[in-house]
Each structure stands twice: as structure tokens, then as C-alpha cells.
Structure 1
Amino acid sequence: MSDNSIVMLFLPAELISVHLLAAFAIAALAGAVKGMVGFAMPMILVSGLSLFLPPDIALAGLILPTLVTNGMQALRQGGQAAWQSMKRFRIFLLIGLVFLLASAQLVRVLPQDIMLILIGAPITLFAVLQLFGIAIPISRATPRVEAIVAAFAGFIGGFSGIWGPPTVAYLTALGTEKREQMRVQGVIYGLGAVALLVAHIGSGVMRADTAPFSLLLIPPAIFGMWIGGRLQDRINQVTFRRATLVVLLVAGANLLRRGLMY
């Protein structure tokens, strides 16, 4: 039995050996970026994997690596610190969870071109705003504003696996201290990843033939995250973050192009 035949027994039919190697490289890159700035793994994974996989399989692939790496990020300063962050942002977590679970069911309903546009648009908008230094003028976290941002993040995250941009924009607008922001992102994204897993077991995205693919992406994602963490102390984070935003802008624009030309 050939290598490709063995792969076909356990993975989606769209995956062949060369695609697996490409998926591993994308997962490592996503992990490295996450290790540097604390977010962007789902965006890079879904953008990269969607180049050669259907959106639902790309979404399935990112679920488990995102869950594991966010858990590592959330618990980096210990469980007590993570619990305090959960208490502080409990409204965001609750509202985001509700909207994430609700919108997850859209994966099987939305046409592929619409899904690509809905994923690409927030990525592109976020990258453009950040590159031009446009911030949301929020002086303090009011329950109403927190609920609105959480609803949008959860809605986008449910059908795309991407809820980072509005979350990062919100935390940045609040002037959240760097270490706390990294931890809060890990907590929010980690709990969101748990909800995403549960939601897409129900939606059928995470199933017997897609779960092994997602499992295989965990090691390269962790390896990449380790590299990113090591680089964080050696490379100017502002410069690297700007370069990351350029990459995300290209990725988001590519998803929009595919959606518009589908």
C-alpha cells in the first residue's frame, strides 16, 4: 500500500503527502507568530490551509492546535492568574460563547464563496486598521461595549474559527498591559477553542476523517510556538508585529479574492 493510500484511510480525501507537508509548515508558521504576539494562529491556519483544502476541512484542521496552544498560553503565569483574567472578562467570555455556538451551525449552510468573504473581510479590515495605527477609542471596559465586541467576535469565530481580530483590538484599545493581554488572549481563545470543538462536533466539521488531520497539526504548531517565544526576546516585537499584519493583510485579501471569484 502506498503512502498516499495509507493517508487516505485516516484523513480527508483532499489530503495527499505534499499537502500534509504544506499543512505542517503552515502550522509551524502560525505557532511561531502566536508565540511572538499571542494571536493570529487561526487566521494563518485557515488562510493557508484554504489554499488547497475546502474551508470546512481547513476549519477542522485548526481546532485542536488552537485549543492546545491557547491552553499553554493561558496557563503560562499559572492557574490563579488565568482564573483572575476569566473573572475580569466574564461578560466577554459568556456572550462570545453564546454567539460562537449559534454561528457554528452556519458552516454547513453558507455557500463557500460567502464563507470565504466573511472570513477574509474581518482579517483584511483588522490588518489595515492596525497598519494605519487606527485604534478604537475605548477608555474603560463597559458591560455594553464588552458585550457588543464579544458578540461580534463570537459570531465570526463560530463559522470561521477566527475570533482574534476584534478581541485584540478591544484589549489594545483598553491599554491592557502586555503580559496580561497575552494571558487574557490565551484564556479567551482557549475557552473559545473548547466551545468551537464542541460546536463543530455538532456541526459535523470535526468528525472521524478530519480529527486525525487536526491532531497531526498539533506538534508543528507547538514547535512553532516555542520558536516564536524564543524569538520574542531577540527581535523587536513592534517591527515583527507590523510584518505579521502585512502577512495577514495578504492572507485576508487572498480569501476575499477567492470568495469574489469563486
Structure 2
Amino acid sequence: MSFPVALPFEPVLLLWVGAVFLLAGTVKGTIGLGLPSISLGLLAATMDIKLAMILLLAPNVVTNLWQAFTGGHFRMLLKRLWLFLLCAAVAIWLGSAALDLVDAKALGALLGLLLAVYALLGLLRPPLSLSPRHEIWAGPLVGGLNGVLTGLTGSFVVPGVPYLQALGFTRDQLVQAMGMLFMASTLGLGVSLGGRSMLSVDLLVLSGICVLPALLGMSLGRRLRDRLSETGFKKVFYGSLLLLGGYIVARWIVQ
């Protein structure tokens, strides 16, 4: 796969990508999640999903680094989730193997479906519970499936986040566990894309530039957090994500 060298530095594209990461960073700064889902969904609706996946790498690493390693629960979570995280990262290689074999529009539709499912789970909030004795087999299974879907679409959230929600963590533990999943998935995705020669210096530079609006958005989101209802904002977030996912799927059906 190759992209025109001049593409990442076209002014209109730079403005659009910057605006997307500013918005996604603002959402993450406000409610603690949503940067990969919002940015990937908006970018994939307007460009090749493989390009969108690459642009997401640097902002995801930087914004999830703090989330993964702060909170005071890293050692406990790693001891409990290491096999789940390992399978989630390694299986990305399997999913990315199909990137050049599957039509990009079909991959975009799969991404839209995953975003819609994630949004519905967030809106409906069904009770999720998993007995600890089932983690020994459920962790690798869910992690592997999450990794394959990440390799295909760049989305880290389904079924990994619902699985973590079912483990009975406290809110702080869950936030840190999601950060660890997103961090492991981002690294796995970067290695997989690089190993398949899908990265270029130009795209990595643009991905690095995207860190700035993402961090600016997070700073803005933190300021908004105290002025907005977190519950209400989450409903708007999940509702918007549902519409975005539905739009991506509908566009694929029409085309």
C-alpha cells in the first residue's frame, strides 16, 4: 500500500485532521474516553481507513501513556490482565494481514458497525458481569478477537472495553485498565503496520503533528468538565457515535 507523498501536507487535509483531533481530545479531556473512537470514525468517513489508522498512532500513544501508568493499580491490573493484553496486542498482526485483501470500504463499514455497537452499549448500559473463574479462557478469547478487529479497523473498543467493564473494577481501575488496553493495542498496531510496510516518514510526521491538537483538546476538555454534566455529555457522545457509525455503514450500503 502506498500514499502520495504530498497528501499528508495538503493544507485542507491538515486543517481537517487537526480539527478532528482537537474535537476528539476535547471529548477525552471531558469524559476520559472517546479519542480513538471519535477521531477514527470521522477520519474513516472521509479518507482511506488505513490512512486513518496510521494518523491515530502518535496521538493515541501520548494520550494513553499517562492513563495506563497512573492510578496506582498498574501492578494489580497487569497481573490480572496480562494474558488478555498480550493476546489483544499479538492478534492485531492477524487482522492487519487482511488489510490489503479486504475492500477498504468494507473495512470502513465494519468500523461503523463496531462504533455503533459500542455506542449502544454506552447508551443502554446493560449489566455486565463475568465470574473470575472464567477469566482464564475468556481473557485470551476476547483479547484475541479484539486484536483481530483492531488490525482490521483500528478500533480498540469492541469487545475489549465491555469485557473490562464486566470484571467488576472500580471506576479508577477501569479507566486505567482501558488505558492499558489502548496502549497495548496502539503499540501492536504500530508494529503490525510497520512490519507490513504500511508506514512512511511523511505519515508518521503527520501523526506526530496530530498530538498537538489532541493535547490542546484534552486541556480544553478538562476545563469544560466542571461546567458540564458528565452523564449528559456521555449521552451526547454515545448518541453522536451511534449516528457516525450508522452513517459509515449506510454510506457503504449505498456505494
Task: Give the TM-score, by structure 1 length.
Answer: 0.87
* Residue of structure 2 in register with 1:193 after alignment: 186
- Give the Cα separation in 2 of the matches to 1:13 and 1:203: 20
* The one of 56, 61, 71 aligned to 1:77: 71
Output the TM-score relative to the length of structure 2. 0.89
The SS at the match of 2:128 is coil
**Equivalent residue number for residue 86 of structure 1:** 78
Distance between the aligned counterparts of 1:166 and 1:230, measured in 2? 31
Which residue of structure 2 lines up, in the alignment, with residue 17 of structure 1? 11
| Structure 1 residue aligned with 2:241 | 248
Distance 1:41 1:185 in 2: 12
Give the match's secondary structure for 2:90.
helix
Greater shift after overlay, 46-55 or 195-204?
46-55
Cα pair 1:14 1:53 within 8 Å, conserved: no
Distance 1:12 1:176, change over 3 A: farther
Gaps of 5+ in 1: 1-9
- Aligned CA distance change for structure 1 residues 158 and 251 (closer, same or farther; 3 Å): same
Instruction: Give the aligned residue type for 1:31.
Output: G
- 1:126 and 2:118 matched: yes
Secondary structure at the aligned position of 1:209 is classed as helix
User: Which residue of structure 1 lines up, in the alignment, with residue 31 of structure 2?
Assistant: 37
Distance, in Å, in 2 between the alignment partners of 1:226 and 1:11 is 32
Within 5 Å, give how 1:168-247 maps onto structure 2: 168-247=161-240
1:38–1:185 CA contact under 8 A, matched in 2:
no
* Count of aligned pairs: 251
Match in the other structure for 2:135:
142
Cα distance change of structure 1 residues 110 and 90 upon mapping to structure 2, 3 Å threshold? same
Root mean square deviation of aligned Cα = 2.1
Distance 1:239 1:201, change over 3 A: same
Contact 1:38 1:186 in 2 (8 A): no
Secondary structure of the corresponding residue to residue 250 of structure 2: helix
Q: Over residues 133-172 of structure 1, what are the superposed CA-to-partner deviations in whole Å (9 max), with x where a residue is unaligned?
A: 3343424462222222212211111122111232221222
Provide the C-alpha distance between the structure 1 equivalents of 2:33 and 2:202, rounded to a whole number of angstroms. Answer: 27
Matched, 1:166 2:159: yes
Report if the CA contact (8 A) 1:36-1:228 is conserved: yes
For the 8 Å contact 1:39–1:164, the answer to whether it is kept is no
- Give the gaps of 5 or more residues in structure 2: none
User: Partners in 2 of 1:24 and 1:130 — Cα distance?
Assistant: 26
Q: Distance in 2 between matches of 1:27 and 1:174?
A: 31
Q: Distance in 1 between matches of 2:131 and 2:30?
A: 26
Q: Does 1:55 align with 2:70?
A: no
Amino acid at match of 1:98: V
Per-residue CA deviations over 1:190-215 (Å, capped at 9, x if unaligned) read: 12111111111112332223112211
Is 1:116 aligned with 2:69? no
Q: Percent identity?
A: 26
Whole-Å Cα distance in 1 between the matches of residues 173 and 5 of structure 2? Answer: 38
